Amino acid sequence: MQLVFATNNPNKIKEVQELIPQHIKLLSLEDIGCYEEIPETQNSIKGNAIQKAEFIKTHYGYDCFADDTGLEVDALNGEPGIYSARYAGEQRNAEDNMNALLNALKDCQNRSAHFKTVIALELNNQQHIFTGICEGEITNEKQGKNGFGYDPIFKPNGYQKTFAEMDLKLKNTIGHRGKAVSQLIAFLNS
């Protein structure tokens, strides 16, 4: 079986490839000749995942899956949410995004947050949805060098380390994307 993972993010591809069984060949957008920006114009994480998967199926004809992930902070009414990648602007810079979030929370005691990943699978002309959530909190400062995005400032509940201080195997086991991908794999293997 082969599936397109509808993302241009090499970090996401690396994380998911660690989880996908070898009998499933994962194709990137580059592998199928898709170099255009896939629209993400929906008002929810689920809506954006669906939009991306449907775009690839409609325009390229491949069975595929797409994910959308957002960091939702309780004290900020769920922000940055669907704007997580461009919280500090269209340049989509992780350092700028983390700095903007830390600044927004500088006087805040409630630092509860969760990462949410929704995967939309387009397979055999049917759509399936898988959701992974990881509860945690935003730290006061960046910690760790691993991972990407907000990983240096997100500490999952029950752990003393941020995602950026964990190895990829542990992050994939407890993290939002790992949880959603595990559901995807269980479905594909059923």
Which positions ≥6 away from 186 have C-beta within 8 Å?
none
Higher pLDDT pick, 103 / 20: 103
Out of 23-37, 123-137, 168-182, give the one with best mean pLDDT. 123-137
Residue 104 lies in domain: 2-189
Residue 14's pLDDT is 81
Counting Cβ atoms within 10 Å, is residue 124 exposed (0-12), middle (13-18) or buried (19+)?
A: exposed
Give residue-wise pLDDT tens across range 24-70: 888 999 999 999 989 899 999 999 999 999 999 999 999 999 999 99
The pTM for the full model equals 0.91
Band the pLDDT of 154: cuts 50, 70, 90: very high
Residue 145's pLDDT is 93
Band the pLDDT of 144: cuts 50, 70, 90: very high
Give catalytic residue positions: 68
Give residue-wise pLDDT tens across range 68-125: 999 999 999 999 999 999 999 988 899 999 999 999 999 999 999 999 999 999 999 9
What's the CATH code of the domain at 168?
3.90.950.10
Rounded to the nearest angstrom, the gap between the alpha carbon of residue 190 and the centroid of all alpha carbons in its chain is 24
Buried-state track 133-146, b at ≥16 Cβ within 10 A, e below 16: ebebbbbeebbbeb
Domain count, the chain: 1
Counting Cβ atoms within 10 Å, is residue 68 exposed (0-12), middle (13-18) or buried (19+)?
A: buried
Band the pLDDT of 150: cuts 50, 70, 90: very high
Residue 189 has pLDDT above 90, yes or no: no
Residue 168's pLDDT is 86
